[in-house]
Structure 1
Amino acid sequence: MTSDAPKRLSRGEAKARTRELLLEAAASTFARKGFHGASVEAIAEAAGFSIGALYANFSGKEQLFLELLSSRASRHVLAAEEILHGDATVGDPGDALGRFLVDLADKDTDFSLLQAEFWLYAARNPAVLDTFAERMREPRDLLARLVEEGRHEREAPPGAASPPSSAVATVVLALFQGLVRQRRIDQDSVPPELFGQALRWLFAGLDEETHQRRERS
């Protein structure tokens, strides 16, 4: 005989579920009201919890937003990894990455405004800015791993090019974010193929530098 009673969550599972619901509520509340317009009270109410429950899991709305931003950036890097390691029949990975950028720029505008709003807020609050930088290291480290794998695939030994993979990852992230913003300002200036082409320019330069260093050694 089986029981239809719902499975009782462990304490750890319940805490994880609470955090998940609070993050979902924060995402929808930020989207409706903006970062400054959203309050911890509104987020807690939208999630169906007390303010005390929110503060038991997050230090405030800054941490909630940073959790959302970091996990979002990491998902984008993982999506890029799938594109790079995906089915070869889909065509040039650079072109696929360009379409990914265009799709993000053209369809996902609300969060971009939130990012800009939070960036200004963090820039004026050094303590928040430090936490911001720390949280964004995770997606950068993921991207640095992809860069390192790409060097191996091109038979370039680690450290052969002058900048470390973490520095290259920083440049790629800045390039991606900058092109997304530029396309939102002027779509014609950032056609779908530009991001893939820009990556080819970047890595061709790195490969040439590696070649020159080998010849000098």
Structure 2
Amino acid sequence: MANRSTLRTPRTRAERQRETREALILAALDAFSRDGYHATSLEGIANEAGFSKGAVYSNFDGKSDLFLALMDFNLEMLRGADWDPFSTADAADTATAGEAEPKTAGGLEIAEMVRGFGLATLEFIATAARDEKLVFALRERMQVMIGAYERIATEARPADENLPPDDIARLMAALDQGSSILALSGITLVDPALIRAGLRRILDPASAADDPAPERDSSISYPGVAQVQRLFQETPEI
């Protein structure tokens, strides 16, 4: 007979629904990153997560709602309270010797996922911009990112700065997102060290002007890869 202390307490309905929702979000992360926003189907996401299409509709209103939930998931990971856009740590700092590079739940390399999801997001933005309801929802998500930069701008605000922190935050977010678009388009290599230098120039021009030129790192071709690698190494699977 099993020891009572080893018996697992049955999951509540709310717990099962949360687990289903999270599994669908992780499957969607792989699907959208691999196939893009328009080419991804809800049926394919459901199959990848091991559920029926009905499970998707019981948790999300449709594909756009699922993508917005995925954006929320990424914003929560990448724009947490301890987020630091000037962090210079990379994946090698947290990797264990001989340990394989982390991958997504569906087996994508982190660099593939970051680039693929960035492209899918551009597709979604183009779609949302033509939909009054979606553009409002998208604006809310972008404001989360700007709010994170505003926290940084407020904490590091120079005494002689005339621009308000929210304006500085918008400029920093514009550099962040604009550099991503350049990298995704393949127009130019966007080095993380150069982005950090640019953010410092926006945040505190007088001090940053005396900084030495950043050492370029050609191993990462677009922003976010090292940060996501660290998150996948440090965060337990959902």
Instruction: Please give the TM-score of this superposition, normalised by the length of structure 1.
Output: 0.70
Tell me the SS of whatever aligns to 2:36.
Answer: helix
* Alignment of 1:141 onto 2:147: yes
Q: Distance in 1 between matches of 2:31 and 2:135?
A: 22
1:12–1:196 CA distance, 2 compared to 1 (3 A):
same
User: Is residue 36–residue 116 contact of structure 2 (8 Å, CA) maintained in 1?
Assistant: no
- The structure where helix makes up a greater share of residues is 1
The offset of 1:140, in angstroms, is: 2.4
Q: For structure 2, which runs of at least 5 residues remain unmatched after alignment?
A: 92-110, 208-238
Tell me the SS of whatever aligns to 2:4.
Answer: coil
The offset of 1:7, in angstroms, is: 2.8
Q: For structure 1, which runs of at least 5 residues remain unmatched after alignment?
A: 85-92, 101-105, 208-217
Tell me the SS of whatever aligns to 2:34.
Answer: helix
The runs of at least 4 aligned residues of structure 1 exceeding 4 Å deviation read: none
The residue number in structure 2 matching 1:103 is none
Greater Cα radius of gyration, structure 1 or 2: 1
1:156-171 superposed matches below 5 A: 156=159, 161-171=161-171
1:57-76 superposed matches below 5 A: 57-76=59-78
The residue number in structure 1 matching 2:29 is 27
What amino acid is the match of 1:126? E
1:162–1:55 CA distance, 2 compared to 1 (3 A):
farther
Comparing 160-169 with 8-17, which one deviates more in the overlay? 160-169
The offset of 1:80, in angstroms, is: 7.5
What amino acid is the match of 1:166? D
1:42-61 superposed matches below 5 A: 42-61=44-63
Q: Distance in 1 between matches of 2:85 and 2:35?
A: 34
1:167-178 superposed matches below 5 A: 167-178=167-178
1:33-112 superposed matches below 5 A: 33-78=35-80, 81-82=83-84, 84=86, 93=87, 96=88, 108-112=114-118
1:164–1:63 CA distance, 2 compared to 1 (3 A):
farther
